[in-house]
Amino acid sequence: MSVVIRNRCYISIFLISSVKHRDKKEETNMEITYDYYRIFYYAAKYKSFSKAAEILMSNQPNITHFMNNLENQLGCRLFIRSNRGVTLTREGEKLYKHVTIAYQHFQMAELELANDKSLQSGIITVGVSEIALHLLILQVMADFRKAYPGIRIRLSNHSTPETIQEVKDGLVDLAVVSTPADVPSTLKSTALMDFSDVMVVSSVHKELCEKPVHLSQMQDYPLICLGRGTKSYEFFSNFYQRHGLKLNPDIEAGTIQQILPMVIYDLGVGFLPENVGIEALEDGKIIKVPLIEKIPQRQICLIESKRTPLSIAANALKQFINNYIETKLQDNL
């Protein structure tokens, strides 16, 4: 009978010991979080647990508990405690040196995020096609910079396919391009505005504006257009094919801004977005050819990733573009 009692006592003692050992092990293996180092930073900086508690809106027993756990986890003493406060041990000095650098980086990051949120700073990388640049983005950027001078903007100007690829590859925050545009399923396209292309010719050919003409009648004039590989070339090639003709340009330009002066100097007829050539039309340097065949309207679209959210600054630019379009539409009513 006595043996059984002794065995029961032994088992009870063993269980109690195991529980205590497990609790101690769990405490030793606790995860050191940012809060531990934050408390350590203030306790070490002011050499006082009470002062740290005051700054962190806590109490001294909590601070003491956290610092005791931190020391247990790191396996060394960090503080020498006395009635006058605390001082750092050699190990504590080493830790404080690194924690101070890290904490300063955290503070700088928080400040940058606060500035980004208030749009006082930030960087936006925007991809833009040639036509979208001149029809929309230049004016939007001018107004946006006046509203948010602290935000830096990086523009990447390429063809529509190249610009869309930049969004897909994460090289730009968003893009603004002209159609036609092949947008992959991973990206989102939002139509911003419509625009019309016109055929223009030098004002020396005033006879061409006297009456409507067929596209086929313009085959005898040299043709200037954007080069192969651009979506504009594809667009006008399809336009010609629909009317039984073949697009066969005599001059291929790199940008639409190159087309305008070549038309003015009578190097050929060309296609331009109507708004791009409006000043030259009003000044009488070029004239619009009244084509019988109607050129389909195109669009300016905003392209963004479905997977990657926009930064605060990039989202502000997106909203700014949308507001600009709405204001422009209302002014045209």
Residues in the chain: 333
Domain architecture of the chain: domains with CATH: 30-116 (1.10.10.10), 122-194+299-332 (3.40.190.10), 197-296 (3.40.190.10)
Using an 8 Å Cβ cutoff, are 297 and 196 in contact? yes
Let me know if 155 is exposed, middle or buried by CB neighbors in 10 A (0-12, 13-18, 19+). middle
Mean pLDDT of 307-332: 86
E strand or H helix at 170: none
Print the SS3 string covering 140-164: HHHHHHHHCCCEEEEEEECCHHHHH
The two three-digit tokens of residue 319, written as one number: 């909203």
Q: How confident is the model at residue 108 (pLDDT cuts 50, 70, 90)?
A: confident
Distance CA 171, CA 186 (A): 15
Give the model confidence (pLDDT) of 62-106 as tens digits: 999 999 999 999 999 999 999 888 999 999 999 999 999 998 888
Give the model confidence (pLDDT) of 287-317 as tens digits: 999 999 999 999 999 999 999 999 888 989 9
Asked if the peptide bond before residue 184 counts as cis, ω within 30 degrees of 0, the response is no
Distances (CA, A) of 37 to 40, 58, 151, 323: 5, 15, 33, 45
Give the model confidence (pLDDT) of 168-193 as tens digits: 999 999 999 999 999 999 999 999 99
DSSP letters of 32-60? --HHHHHHHHHHHHHT-HHHHHHHTT--H
E strand or H helix at 88: strand 85-88
The two three-digit tokens of residue 13, written as one number: 């003692």
pLDDT above 50: residue 59:
yes
pLDDT above 50: residue 11:
no
pTM comes to 0.67
Q: First CA to last CA across the chain, in angstroms?
A: 104
